[in-house]
Amino acid sequence: MEYFISGIKKYVDFSGRARRKEYWMFILFLMIFYIVAGVLDTVAGTYIFSPLVGIGLFLPSISIATRRLHDTGRSGWWQLLSLIPLIGGIVLIVFLAQDSREGNSFGANPKTA
């Protein structure tokens, strides 16, 4: 949960780097909250909770993905690959799952810090 809270606190920080564990733990909790919101929508018979979670966590998810791409030595603009149907999402997941690079122009390796 500390990784999720850390990602929320840095919701407009598009500089620096994020470790693989930090990114994937954030995504795990994001999915859990989104599923809970979907269940609440179904039980309540409304469609309000899921969009609120999606809108509320959109910017933090973009910023942590940018920092994760920085960790692999890429610019955050690589997220635009997700706009390419099927292939773009697969390539982006591969980039996000790669191991950290040593010190690069985005900062020191967070594994060594």
DSSP states of 27-95 as a string? Answer: HHHHHHHHHHHHHHHHHHT-SSHHHHHHHHTHHHHHHHHHHHHHHTT--GGGGGGGGSTTHHHHHHHHH
Residue 105 in any domain: the answer is: no
Residue 113 in any domain: the answer is: no
Per-residue pLDDT of the chain (113 residues; tens, 9 = 90+): 888 888 888 888 898 898 899 999 999 999 999 999 999 999 999 999 999 999 999 999 999 999 999 999 899 999 999 999 999 999 999 999 998 878 787 888 877 76
Instruction: Please check whether residue 13 is in contact with residue 64, taking contact to mean a CB–CB distance below 8 angstroms.
Output: no
Instruction: Please check whether residue 87 is in contact with residue 25, taking contact to mean a CB–CB distance below 8 angstroms.
Output: no
Residue 45 in any domain: the answer is: yes
Residue 46 in any domain: the answer is: yes
**Residue 88, token pair as written in the block:** 């773009």
The Cα–Cα gap between 64 and 1 comes to 15
Residue 65 in any domain: the answer is: yes
Looking at residue 100, its pLDDT comes to 83
Residue 107 in any domain: the answer is: no
At residue 16, φ and ψ (nearest 5 deg) are: 90, -165
Domain that includes residue 62, residue range: 2-97
User: Model pTM greater than 0.85?
Assistant: yes
Place of tokens 């998810």: 61
- Structural domain tally of the chain? 1
Produce one character per residue of 100-110: b if its CB has 16 or more CB atoms within 10 Å, e if not: beeeeebeeeb
